[in-house]
Amino acid sequence: MDHKPARVRIVDAAHELMLSIGLARTTTKEIARAAGCSEAALYKYFSGKEELFVTVLAERLPRLGNLLGDLRAGEGSVEGNLTEIARVAALFYEQTFPMAASLYAEPQLKRRHEEGVGGLEAGPHLPIRRLDAYLRAEQGAGRLRADADTYAAASLLLGACAQRAFAYAALPGGTPPQPLDDFAASLARTLLGGIS
């Protein structure tokens, strides 16, 4: 018998199912069954599958949002900060990709998902927006070139991390050529060559 609170069991079950069978095939009924509760109990905590998906992203995956929200211009080195962002982002996208891939296969599901998260402050654009804000703050602090395009830099860094997950998830064995830490450090160093 699992003695965790119902909400924790529900989020754990949603995470497991979304990872193993994808978001499209995961239903609230299956989540409730896996959590050992009724569907009515699930709806006491969550408005539906979309809110659960956003909760899983926020509470069970590498903490990309927290990391980006906690960054302060002038603290640590810009290269060290970007290396840590790249490392966490690559892990985040690696774990998100199998869950979210099914969204893009079904246009109707994607529309429903977009409507479901519409009211929640969530979405794939947020990390870019937060990283852009951090880079602009570093620019204001004089640690990046005044003419650097911070939005493009944020998009390049996070895009490379997402692409790494996408490119190698599809391959048999799917192992990227560079270890994660080397990839993150190299990405940060290369990006800084263009903006610092």
Closest residue by Cα to residue 47 from 99, 115, 96:
115
CA distance 57 to 96: 7
Band (112; pLDDT cuts 50, 70, 90):
low
Instruction: Encode pLDDT of 90-103 as tens digits.
Output: 988 888 877 777 66
pLDDT > 70: percent of the chain: 85
Q: Please state the rounded mean pLDDT for residues 132-159.
A: 96
pTM for the model stands at 0.75
pLDDT at 80 over 70: yes
The whole-angstrom separation of Cα 150 and Cα 128 is 10
Residue ending a domain, choose from 44, 60, 76 = 60
Clarify whether residues 152 and 191 are in a common domain.
yes
Same domain flag for 54 and 112 = no
Burial of 107 (0-12, 13-18, 19+ CB in 10 A): exposed
Domain count, the chain: 2
Q: What is the pLDDT of residue 109?
A: 61
CATH of the domain at 68: 1.10.357.10
User: Among 11, 40, 60, where does a domain finish?
Assistant: 60
Q: Look at residue 141 in the predicted model and tell me its pLDDT.
A: 96
Q: Does 45 have pLDDT greater than 90?
A: yes
Same domain, 97 and 150: yes
With cut-offs at 50, 70 and 90, classify the pLDDT of residue 61.
Answer: confident
What's the domain range around 167?
Answer: 62-195
State whether 138 and 178 are in the same domain: yes
Instruction: Specify whether 56 is located in the same domain as 67.
Output: no
**Residue with the larger pLDDT of the pair 30 and 61:** 30
Question: What gap in Å lies between CA 179 and CA 74, rounded to an integer?
Answer: 28
Statement to judge: residues 122 and 147 lie in one domain: yes
One domain for residues 70 and 158: yes
> Dihedral of the CA atoms 58, 130, 135, 157 (nearest 10)?
60
Task: Please provide residue 74's backbone torsions phi and psi, each rounded to the nearest 5 degrees.
Answer: 90, -10
Side-chain half-sphere CA neighbours of 24 within 13 A: 14
Residues 50 and 82 in one domain: no
More confident residue, 114 or 143: 143
